[in-house]
Amino acid sequence: MRVLVTGGAGFIGTHLANALHRQGHYVRVLDDMRSGDASQLDPDIFVKRGDVRDVPTLWTVLQDVEVVYHLAALVSVPASVLYPRDYNDVNVGGTVALLEACRDVGHVKRVILASSATVYGDQEHQPVHEELRPRPAVPYAVSKLAAEHYLFTLGRLVGFQAVALRIFNAYGPGAPLPPSHAPIIPYAMRQISQKGSVIVFGDGTQTRDFVYIDDVVEALVAAATAPNVDGQVINVGSGQETSVNDLVATIGRVVEQQPRILYNREASPGIPRLVADLERAHTILGYRPRVSLEAGLRRFYETDLRFRRGRRSTQAPLTDLAFHPPGL
Q: Which of 274, 303, 305, 300 is nearest to 129 (CA)?
A: 274
User: Residues 272-276: what's their mean pLDDT?
Assistant: 98
List pLDDT tens digits, range 131-165. 999 999 999 999 999 999 999 999 999 999 999 99
- d(C-alpha 141, C-alpha 83), whole Å: 13
Catalytic-labelled residue, pool 69, 87, 120, 140: 140
pLDDT of residue 326: 40
pLDDT of residue 189: 97
* Cβ contact 290:214 at 8 Å: yes
Q: Which residues contact 262 (CB under 8 A, 6 or more apart)?
A: 197, 198, 199, 200
pLDDT for residue 285 is more than 50: yes
* Cβ contact 117:164 at 8 Å: no
From 115-124, 192-201, 302-311, the region with the lowest mean pLDDT = 302-311
Q: Is 140 a catalytic residue?
A: yes
List pLDDT tens digits, range 50-100. 999 999 999 999 999 999 999 999 999 999 999 999 999 999 999 999 999
List pLDDT tens digits, range 233-268. 999 999 999 999 999 999 999 999 999 999 999 998
| Torsion angle of the four alpha carbons 247, 306, 4, 103, in this order, in degrees rounded to the nearest 10 | 60
Tell which CATH classification among 1.20.272.10, 3.40.50.261, 3.40.50.2300, 3.40.50.720 matches the domain 2-168+213-236. Answer: 3.40.50.720
- d(C-alpha 57, C-alpha 100), whole Å: 13
One-letter identity of residue 64: D
pTM higher than 0.85: yes
DSSP state at residue 88: I
pLDDT of residue 309: 55
